[in-house]
Structure formats: C-alpha cells, structure tokens
Amino acid sequence: MDKNKLIQDYKRYVMPTYTREPLVIVKGKGSRVWDAGGRDYLDFFPGWAVSGLGHAHPVVVKALLLQLKKIMHVPNNYYNELQGKLARKICEASFSGKVFFCNSGAEGIEAAIKLARLWGSAKSKFEIITMEGSFHGRTLAAVTATGQPKYRQGFAPLPKGFLHVPFNDLGALKAKINKKTAAIMLELIQGEGGINVAGAHYIKEIRRLCSQKNILLIFDEVQTGIARTGRMFCYQHYNVQPDVMVLAKSLGGGFPIGAIVARKKIADTLAAGTHASTFGGSPLACAAGLAVFEAIRKGRLLTNAQRQGAYLYKKLEHLKEKYRIIKEIRGMGLMLGLELRQEGRPIYQACLKKGLLINCTHSNVLRIMPQLGVKISEIDKAIGILDKVLKREF
Ligand SMILES: Cc1ncc(COP(=O)(O)O)c(C=O)c1O
C-alpha cells in the first residue's frame, strides 16, 4: 500500500474535518493495533472509547459473523428479536425503563432532547440546562447543548432554549432553573472537556432539585458508560438514578450503535410517529451490543476495570511525583486524565512515535482510556513509554 498516495486521496476526496496523524491503521487485536508497515502500537485510547473491549474481541466478532449470515437489517415496522433482548439487558443493568435505539452519541443526544421537549410541551417547559466544558456531539442541537462556544462558531442560527452553567457549581445551576426548565443534562465525567469529575454532593443535589421541580435529569454516558469507570454506568457510583441516560461508543464493542433509556412514564412520551431512525437497533448492531454484555460478564471486565484502573492511577501518581509538568491526575476506573502545566500535544506525539496511542484534549490534558481487559504488563509498558518521553523531552 502506498501511504503517500492514500494521504493524497484523503486530501483530494475526503472533507478536511479531522486533524489526522500520518498513521494508517490496518488491524487491531486486544490492546494493540498495527499500521500498514507492520509496526504495532499499544492503543490506550481505542477508538475514542468505542473499542472498549479492545480490538476484535472474539465474542463480538463471533456474534457479528453469525448474525451477518442470518440478516443484517430489519426495518423498525417489524420486530427483530435481538433489539428486544438488548433493550431488556440495558434496562436490567441500569434502571427500569424503555430504550430507543439509534446509531451514535449525537443521535442519542438528539433523541433525549426531543424526548425532553415533547415531555415538557404540555407544561410549557422547553429549556435545557447543560454544563460549561461539556461535549454532547456535533449535530445542530447537540452542538448547541455542548458547553463550549468554539464548537458552535459559524453555525448560527442555532436552536433556542439551551442554557449553560459552570460545571460543579450548584449555586449557578439553581440560579438558572426556572419554570421553563424541561431538563438538566450532564456528563458525570466530562471526557472531551478534560476528565472533570462531578462531585457526589453536586449530583445528589441536582437529583433532588430535578425531582422537586419536575425537571428531567439526563446523564450523557456516551463516554462513561459500559463499564468504563468500573461500574456498568458511571451514575452507579453516585447512588442516584437519572430519568434519561444516553449511551453509544462502546455499547457496540466497535460496531456503531447508540441508545437512550428513559424511565417508563417518560419513555412513553415518544409515541409512534414522534421519532425514528432507519438503522436504529438493527439486528447486527444489537448482536454486537448483546455480545458486549456477555463479554463483560464472562471476562469479569468490571472487576478488571476497577483493579487495573487503580493500578494505572497509582503508576500515574508516581509519574506525577517525578515530573513537575504533571499537575493533577483525575478520573475513575479506566477513564483517566493527566492535567499538565503545559501543552500536551508534543507529549502525545512523542508517545505515538514510541508506539503508544493516547489522546490530548483541552490542549493540556492527556486522556488515557485503555480497553477494559487491559493487562498489567500492558500498563507497565505504556507507563514506561510515558516515563521515557517525559524524561527525555520535558
Ligand atoms: C459525552 C459525549 N457525548 C456525545 C458524544 C457524541 O458522540 P458521537 O461522536 O458518536 O456522535 C461524545 C463523543 O465524543 C461524547 O464524548
């Protein structure tokens, strides 16, 4: 394969929406990926949290291959048995509710917003409050909900009815709530925003306020969901329940799928004809989703995420003691961030050169989210690379 020609094709034929590294990934297995030249990399940010079980997990691959031979797509004016099964699995693992299936995080956020608007319409409630620093996706409503102005620039006029307040600031939130408030939507750990963790008291109080004032509480678990933080869903660390939860990314173990779960009474607001998604809940996507649940159970991946997460955290703390450039380590389970006292991009790029894939967000936060089955030896190797990079370059 001619890498330069491929890059030229991208330049000529693919819209330039992404900043890409000159790396052509052709294969993946577990925590590793291979480039077109046969070099392997340790992937500690697999698919931006999509490949939560690692690459080519055998349980997911087997389920997809089996389903491929049966039927790929069943339109939603008929039943497909896997959609019902996956909906049941999600509800049994979370709270008693009903599921709507779609294909991505932003599409799930759109569904949650539409649900909140329709639910609130009879009560003249339509406003949705979200947090500064949040990220909810790139469709027009999701990007308006996102509490970072840079993502909205140039796209006006934007949908109305979205208010943003500082994250982890209860007073600011209380001041914005009014009789038009239909929903409060937030990530429990802001991923793209720099691994900012919501406080326990803050979340408890938001739950109390929502119940008291008849406001929907929506948790965006697109990145935190599916065992990432050491619980199946991050809200389970907080001992509260949302009214609506949005899932995507690793729900399909690499296969595109999105979903929202809403408490039963609220879910029934989305009556026939109010919302739809042609590809949503296809047998193939649901086969992948069911395989993800099975793989997590069989592989004891929740325990692994807790144990390896604690080990990784400890190792990162050691690096922090060694290098002044590291200001803080944040996160839960296998969703960790290192806030630096300087730009993170050179470190991220030096790691890539040495064969370690991580992410840099918010210009100075390194985001590290290895797959749920990550091994101690892989963590040690990744820490070794980070150590070398920090020692040599900073
Ligand atoms: C918390 C959160 N919500 C929503 C989204 C949007 O998901 P998607 O890119 O699948 O539309 C993302 C993507 O990074 C995310 O992290």
Rounded Cα–Cα distance for residues 10 and 312 (Å): 36
pLDDT one-digit tens code per residue, 244-267: 999 999 999 999 999 999 999 999
* Ligand 1 mean position, distance from CA 343 (Å): 23
* Ligand 1 mean position, distance from CA 260 (Å): 13
Q: Is the pLDDT of residue 394 over 70?
A: no
Rounded Cα–Cα distance for residues 221 and 136 (Å): 10
Instruction: Answer yes or no: 249 catalytic.
Output: yes
Task: Kindly state the percentage of the chain with pLDDT values over 90.
Answer: 99
* Ligand 1 mean position, distance from CA 332 (Å): 18
Nearest CA to ligand 1 atom 3: 136
Nearest CA to ligand 1 atom 4: 136
3-state secondary structure 301-324: HHHHHHHHHHHHHHHHHHHHHHCC
* Ligand 1 mean position, distance from CA 38 (Å): 31
Is there a cis peptide before residue 157, judged by omega within 30 degrees of 0?
yes
Instruction: Answer yes or no: 169 catalytic.
Output: no
Rounded Cα–Cα distance for residues 148 and 329 (Å): 22
In this prediction, residues 53-62 reach a mean pLDDT of 98
Q: Which one of 44, 95, 126, 249 is the catalytic residue?
A: 249
Rounded Cα–Cα distance for residues 334 and 52 (Å): 10
Instruction: Answer yes or no: 220 catalytic.
Output: yes
Atom of ligand 1 nearest to the CA of 191: 16
Tokens of 22: 């000159």
Give the residue from 231, 137, 230, 237 showing the smallest Cα distance to 192: 137
Residue 137, ligand 1, Cβ within 6 A: yes
Atom of ligand 1 nearest to the CA of 187: 1
Q: Which one of 45, 220, 243, 293 is the catalytic residue?
A: 220
In this prediction, residues 44-57 reach a mean pLDDT of 97
Looking at residue 55, its pLDDT comes to: 98
Rounded Cα–Cα distance for residues 340 and 327 (Å): 5
Angle, vertex CA 221, rays to CA 110 and CA 280, nearest 5: 45
pLDDT one-digit tens code per residue, 112-168: 999 999 999 999 999 999 999 999 999 999 999 999 999 999 999 999 999 999 999
Q: Is the pLDDT of residue 393 over 70?
A: no
